Structure 1
Amino acid sequence: MALLDWLILIVPLLAIVGAAFYTQRYIHDAVDFLAAGRIAGRYAISVADLASGLSIITLVALSEQNYQCGFGVAFWNSIGIPVGIAMSLTGYCNYRWRQTRCLSRGQFIELRYGSKFFRVVTAVISTTAESVTNAIGPAIAARFFIYYLGLPHRFTFFGISLPCYGIVVVLCLTLAILLIWPSGRISLLITDCFQGLLTYPIFIILAGFILLKFSWDIDVLPVLINRAPQQSFVDPHQIRAFRDFNIFMITAELTSGVINRASWFGNDTTNSGRTPHEQKMAGILGAWRATFANMIILLIALMVYVFMTSGNFANRNNVFKCSNNEIRRELTTKIMDELHGDGLIDQDKHQTIQQKIDEMQDIAPGLTHSARPIAQIPNDTYQDGAIRHQEILVRKADGAIVTENPEDGSIVVCDNLDKHYFDVVYSELGQTPSGRSAFQQYRSKFQQMMMPVCLKNMFPIGLQGLFCLLAVMLLISTDDTRIFNAVGSIVQDIVLPYCKTRPTPEKHILLLRIWTILVGVFFFVVSMFFSQMDYIIMFTTIMSAVWLGAAGPIMVGGLYTRFGNLTGAWCAIVFGSGSTLLGMICQFRWASTIYPWLEKHQLIDKVGTAFTTLSKPFHPYIQWEMNAVRFPINSYEIFFFAMLISILTYTIGSFLTYKPYNLDKLLHRGKYADEKESPASLAAPENITSGKPGIFRRIWTFIQKNMLGIDSEYTRGDKIIAYSVFTYVIIYKFLIIFLGVFIYTKYISPWSQTAWGNYFLIVQIIIPIFLGLVTTVWFVWGTIKDIRQLFSDLENRKVDTTETGQL
């Protein structure tokens, strides 16, 4: 990067660190450190959650996913819109959680289920799953910066050869710890707000650059529609051939979104709201907050895919200073250097692969040719460049793989350009276990690091620095939050329950700071030994499922049911987490241990038949086929079945030992109510439908209360926000652009591939950019107002030194 880029990066970072240490003057007790004094406003919480929710690993993972499945699968995400908006508008879980006034998830579990031991067990499981899942963040981020900045894999310092990867990981974690140290949740809330506000203008600049550099009709659309049958990037009706990222994945995510709504509550901003109503409104604002961020991630992934697969960029042109062939060579060279430096490949193989990569001719992707329209081409199944089909496979003289249909002679070019490089590397590494392992690492890093190498070569001076600043902010806003969440869980739910006396505020805060360093060390150790062979999303799904596979009924059942009890909770943990661990072991040990054992005992056919029979009713979205390398059941499928098992066992176990629980006491309702926190709820209910006669009044009351979640605590401005979110999300996004489009294209008049491409241009890019411009002004104003109010309230807050989260 140029000097200007480094200034763009360093100056805002210094301001962020300075803001963190400025907040230290407002820290008085553990409630301040853990929950920002419980006096944060809705905009501050919403924008801070945006910053902490985005991360480099999210950017890389979603880019990796979109590179594989495009827009078509994403269309079906809209199925969950009514569920998501209902949860937001009604304050599902958020409102009740804030009513409990718990400082941690473990405190709630002990209050609800009456067992300190169960609190510690769940804390250990959830913290371990969360920490291992999140600890790969610095690993992915460090490698991202090495490839984006063009740093060497090793450098010499006073004659000592040091790994650049380890140094970058230390710098990332040190920066995150620096933001936590001054005042915990207060400094995180303020710095995350600052970073969240900076991301909005950067998003606008990035969107403008991408739209100016790429022509939709010339560059983008031809690439999106040049796909194999049933692997459409734009037509949601033609996606049956996708294996991992498909409709079932969306079903599992939707189920988890409902069941695990409260599973990560307790050590984040869910404790920080001024009142339960303010916490609820922060969740509602999230519907507007996330629109722009989701669009820019999709746009970056789209830019990378188009650049890497379009024939327009196979050679250098006037648009960019490099070609996609040069990107692949640079990427392969850098990965080979890393694998050689780590001792995974020897010098001879390293030189041979490098020589063959240098000698490869530039590959220009072909166009799709067919005697009929694309939509009429017979269906086949293709995966990751490896073709599985029932038609004739032909390799032309130019190296392109094509399928020829015996009946009509239609031809479709379906070769994955990356596969040419994969073939060269795989042929040299050979069939040995160590060679296959090295190839898996090469392919995984190739897919993950394609984005930073592309962007480094595509962005001009100035924009390189802006994107690097965005990446660093995404890194620290996520790492500091996840480290702090783990610290809160360890201290509040594992350490303090066994302390015989309540610590003073000073000792409590010191304990939290010490554990911040220890958790940072744990993240560093995991990052240094991290080796991930699957898609990032698949890895994080199976790791987090160790807790999420069991947590849903424990948390939601604890907040909403009177029948849920300790027996049911133990059943959920044993069977939910247990089934996930079993699936994880099968995934990790399948190729090296399980499959060879089955082969030795001649059980391959029998087990393979069993897998095929069980999955057959769910074809084509679930296909369990025997494979020597990969466990037939993927991470989403394991996760989904674990959730179902935990719900069933929680319910059965609870009813077998049924004893009604006093929810009013837990939620501070009725005679247990706190007048300072919910004065509006104790007053006479407001007549929100005054003047509406008869049946219309009753219908309107029902809609406002049950569909919009409006109650006596809503001001006029709150109602406007609720109405706007309902109109945008339900009427526009769900009824018009999803359900209406689905019915029209499925049953009335099917759209062409070009029509679907233009639909996604308007719906997923143009309209979100317009909304992003509006919400940027809105949220900047609201956040600045909330931050000023937060500082004022922190100065005047009454301190309760006895509140530590202990029972």
Structure 2
Amino acid sequence: MSNNTSHHKIWDIIKFFIHFCKLPETFRIAGINFDFSTYPCLLGFAIGLGVVFAIFGGQIAIMLTDFIQGQFCNIAFLAIMVYMVSIFRWDVIFEALRDFESANPGQSLFNPYNTSRIEDFNIWYFLVGIAIMLMTQGAWQGGSQYNAAAKSAHEAKMSRFLGTWRQLVQVALMIFIPICAFTFFHHPDFAAQAAELNGELALLGGQNAVQARVPLFLTQVLPVGLVGVFAAVMFAAMLSTDDSYLHSWGSILIQDVILPFRKKPFTEKQHILLLRLSIVFVGVFAFFFSYLFKQTEYIFLFFQITGAIFTGGAGAVIIGGLYTRMGTAAGAWVAMIAGSGLSVGGILLQQAWPHISESFYRMTGWSWVGDNLERFPLNGQYVAFYATLIGFLLYFGVSYIDKKIRHLPGFNLEQMLHRGVYDKTHEHVVVQQKPLGRLLRALGLTDEFTFGDKVIFFASMAWTLLWFLIFIGGTAAQLFFRLPDIAWLEFWKFYVMFGFVLGIGTTIWFLWGGIADTFELFRTLSTMKRDMADDGRVVDGRNAGE
């Protein structure tokens, strides 16, 4: 189980609030002659609030608050995006980006094929990221409770298609804000204001100055009302992330680590109590980890390496277990241990490298060690990739050997998932009368799709195919014709503004549909029959209670 990625999301948001709201490093409470540190107090408050929501509200409360938070954020993002576009003209943005590229060859911020001198976030970062995404599809533990909360397998599949459209506004704004911040600090039109902020950042120094740059920029350019709105957005995002992840990891610890080793099931009260205690434990661990752990690289790279503690092996287990009949328990165990072990080893090496690199270089004389004395040569993205790839190789290799030695029969996945002849509850409703082609079935279209489902399905496929073709076409054009700078700049302008315009419609769509589905959720909960014996365990290839 890996909690570290979320813990550093909490850490990052708390640091954001301190800089965004310009809070002091310490404060005093009237009548107490003691200086309280702001950071651990805010950290404890944020994690504690998430724990309270998770243990007293449970999954239903988390789903509702996440829906409200998501819609509030999208509406707020629309307002902030409109204001930012009115302040930062695209011609000014283009000028700042082109001037930087001219002064820093090989470090383009808009042409992905001119990034050879960018150390971490070059073209290989994105290509490796795509590979990791494909190998760990569905494995991210932070969303495990949502993966299991759908009304049916079909609805779970539809949620993945809908997710393509839900975040259009967020993605557009999260790209546009850093672009505007860069323009603010590098274009002559904002020189006076930037000089004032640079003076404040110089007082902070080091990593604190890097982390404070964008928050202080936002307080400088946003009007009073939108500053409050953005602070509320960040608070809502923090709370929804915290309670979701705390609930998810607390459940994983009990359901996937403790329950499989018990022969006797817990009573209902024991089970609920253990889940709540597990969530509290995760919260306590999150507090001390976030407070004590020293971050050594960019937050996105740290997300990858800490996430791989779980996904490094889980991706192979999910893909191999659900889409092949080759896997065995031995292969799954080896993949999980190897993926976790390699990721943890990478984190430890990153922490210890500055202290051991010189001795290691003197002992081995290897040039690559001498060239990287200050920092471990593999960043978090590469460590995550190699851990995941090795997890895949070990999963299939060990499973193959295990089957050959023990002559194991294939696992009856259809029975456990209640598919085909085992669908006694008639969960899989056929609405498609005409036979579907093999290609459409391979892409995920089944007989359960209604007309509306198919519209969403084909729109999502067309959207993905569009950007894939643009990627292929852009790559070919760059290789053979070397696209001019203005072509790349206009592409990013189109990408941001197109997502923003479409996001207006999808925000209205999700708000209306989400409200309707909320009422449907409570109607379903009021009539559904619960099997209290089904506590999440799998016994002899069947769900407990069957």
Q: How high is the TM-score relative to the length of structure 1? A: 0.62
Give the letter aligned to residue 268 of structure 1. Q
Q: Secondary structure at the match of 2:334?
A: helix
* Aligned counterparts, 1:416-455, within 5 A: 442-455=205-218
2 CA distance for matches of 1:625 and 1:285? 49
2 CA distance for matches of 1:751 and 1:172? 47
Matched, 1:546 2:314: no
For 2:191, the equivalent position in structure 1 comes to 314
Give the letter aligned to residue 632 of structure 1. P
For 1:59, the equivalent position in structure 2 comes to none
Match of 2:433 among 673, 683, 686: 686
Q: Secondary structure at the match of 1:182?
A: helix
For 2:117, the equivalent position in structure 1 comes to 241
Q: Secondary structure at the match of 2:56?
A: coil
1 CA distance for matches of 2:11 and 2:514? 32
**Deviation of the 1:487 alpha carbon:** 0.7
1 CA distance for matches of 2:387 and 2:264? 39
**Pair 1:280–1:480, CA change in 2 (3 A):** same
Matched, 1:768 2:515: no
2 CA distance for matches of 1:583 and 1:543? 9
For 1:285, the equivalent position in structure 2 comes to 162
Give the letter aligned to residue 759 of structure 1. F
2 CA distance for matches of 1:677 and 1:257? 30
For 1:320, the equivalent position in structure 2 comes to none
For 2:240, the equivalent position in structure 1 comes to 477
More helix by percentage: 2
* Aligned counterparts, 1:377-456, within 5 A: 442-456=205-219
**Deviation of the 1:596 alpha carbon:** 2.4
CA contact (8 A) 1:444 1:534 kept: no
2 CA distance for matches of 1:286 and 1:447? 32
Match of 1:223 among 91, 96, 102: 96
For 2:340, the equivalent position in structure 1 comes to 577
* Aligned counterparts, 1:629-644, within 5 A: 629-644=374-389
Matched, 1:262 2:138: yes
* Aligned counterparts, 1:290-369, within 5 A: 290-315=167-192, 323-333=193-203, 335=204
For 1:795, the equivalent position in structure 2 comes to 526
Q: Percent identity?
A: 29
**Deviation of the 1:509 alpha carbon:** 2.5
**Pair 1:495–1:710, CA change in 2 (3 A):** closer
Equivalent residue pairs, number: 527
Q: Once the two structures are superposed, what CA deviation does each residue of 1:75-98 show, in whole Å capped at 9, x if it has no partner?
A: xxxxxxxxxxxxxxxxxxxxxxxx
Q: Secondary structure at the match of 1:678?
A: coil
Q: Once the two structures are superposed, what CA deviation does each residue of 1:150-172 show, in whole Å capped at 9, x if it has no partner?
A: 11100122111111111111221
**Pair 1:481–1:541, CA change in 2 (3 A):** same
1 CA distance for matches of 2:261 and 2:320? 26
1 CA distance for matches of 2:374 and 2:355? 8
For 1:661, the equivalent position in structure 2 comes to 411
For 2:544, the equivalent position in structure 1 comes to none
**Pair 1:494–1:638, CA change in 2 (3 A):** closer
For 1:172, the equivalent position in structure 2 comes to 46
CA contact (8 A) 2:358 2:370 kept: no
2 CA distance for matches of 1:508 and 1:575? 30
For 2:457, the equivalent position in structure 1 comes to 722
**Deviation of the 1:241 alpha carbon:** 2.0
**Deviation of the 1:574 alpha carbon:** 4.2
For 1:137, the equivalent position in structure 2 comes to 9
**Pair 1:803–1:573, CA change in 2 (3 A):** closer
For 2:358, the equivalent position in structure 1 comes to 596
Matched, 1:704 2:466: no
Q: Once the two structures are superposed, what CA deviation does each residue of 1:385-428 show, in whole Å capped at 9, x if it has no partner?
A: xxxxxxxxxxxxxxxxxxxxxxxxxxxxxxxxxxxxxxxxxxxx
For 1:103, the equivalent position in structure 2 comes to none
**Deviation of the 1:727 alpha carbon:** 2.2
**Pair 1:460–1:482, CA change in 2 (3 A):** same
**Deviation of the 1:703 alpha carbon:** 4.2
**Pair 1:522–1:745, CA change in 2 (3 A):** closer
For 2:256, the equivalent position in structure 1 comes to 493
1 CA distance for matches of 2:277 and 2:398? 39
Q: Secondary structure at the match of 1:268?
A: helix
1 CA distance for matches of 2:491 and 2:128? 26
* Aligned counterparts, 1:501-540, within 5 A: 501-540=264-303
CA contact (8 A) 1:262 1:552 kept: yes
**Deviation of the 1:745 alpha carbon:** 4.6
**Deviation of the 1:571 alpha carbon:** 3.1
CA contact (8 A) 1:541 1:635 kept: yes
Matched, 1:743 2:479: no
Structure 1: 5+ residue stretches without partners: 1-126, 316-322, 336-441, 612-623, 690-700
Match of 1:163 among 14, 37, 44: 37
Matched, 1:781 2:526: no
Give the letter aligned to residue 14 of structure 2. A
Q: Secondary structure at the match of 2:36?
A: strand
CA contact (8 A) 2:137 2:315 kept: yes
2 CA distance for matches of 1:512 and 1:546? 22
Give the letter aligned to residue 385 of structure 2. F
Q: Secondary structure at the match of 2:434?
A: coil
CA contact (8 A) 1:567 1:653 kept: yes
Q: Once the two structures are superposed, what CA deviation does each residue of 1:19-70 show, in whole Å capped at 9, x if it has no partner?
A: xxxxxxxxxxxxxxxxxxxxxxxxxxxxxxxxxxxxxxxxxxxxxxxxxxxx
**Pair 1:267–1:752, CA change in 2 (3 A):** closer
Give the letter aligned to residue 519 of structure 1. V
**Pair 1:599–1:298, CA change in 2 (3 A):** same
For 2:543, the equivalent position in structure 1 comes to none
Which 10-residue stretch deviates more, 513-522 or 476-485?
513-522
Q: Once the two structures are superposed, what CA deviation does each residue of 1:316-342 show, in whole Å capped at 9, x if it has no partner?
A: xxxxxxx11221221232x3xxxxxxx
Structure 2: 5+ residue stretches without partners: 540-546
Give the letter aligned to residue 473 of structure 2. G
CA contact (8 A) 1:504 1:801 kept: no
2 CA distance for matches of 1:774 and 1:579? 44
**Pair 1:716–1:324, CA change in 2 (3 A):** same
Match of 2:60 among 178, 186, 199: 186
1 CA distance for matches of 2:253 and 2:9? 20
Matched, 1:733 2:478: no
Q: Once the two structures are superposed, what CA deviation does each residue of 1:755-792 show, in whole Å capped at 9, x if it has no partner?
A: 32122112x22211110111111111111110010011
Give the letter aligned to residue 229 of structure 1. P
**Deviation of the 1:599 alpha carbon:** 4.2
For 2:420, the equivalent position in structure 1 comes to 670
Q: Secondary structure at the match of 1:314?
A: helix
2 CA distance for matches of 1:178 and 1:597? 48
For 1:754, the equivalent position in structure 2 comes to 486
CA contact (8 A) 2:11 2:290 kept: yes
Q: Secondary structure at the match of 2:35?
A: strand
**Pair 1:465–1:136, CA change in 2 (3 A):** same
**Deviation of the 1:625 alpha carbon:** 7.0
Match of 2:128 among 226, 236, 252: 252
Q: Secondary structure at the match of 1:657?
A: helix
**Pair 1:142–1:235, CA change in 2 (3 A):** closer
1 CA distance for matches of 2:535 and 2:252? 13
CA contact (8 A) 1:139 1:530 kept: no
CA contact (8 A) 2:296 2:351 kept: no
**Deviation of the 1:642 alpha carbon:** 2.0
Give the letter aligned to residue 631 of structure 1. F
**Pair 1:503–1:569, CA change in 2 (3 A):** closer
CA RMSD of aligned residues (A): 2.2
1 CA distance for matches of 2:439 and 2:273? 49
1 CA distance for matches of 2:179 and 2:414? 50
CA contact (8 A) 1:444 1:533 kept: no
Give the letter aligned to residue 662 of structure 1. N
Give the letter aligned to residue 59 of structure 2. R
Give the letter aligned to residue 131 of structure 2. T
**Deviation of the 1:582 alpha carbon:** 3.5
1 CA distance for matches of 2:400 and 2:198? 59
**Deviation of the 1:458 alpha carbon:** 1.8
1 CA distance for matches of 2:483 and 2:318? 44
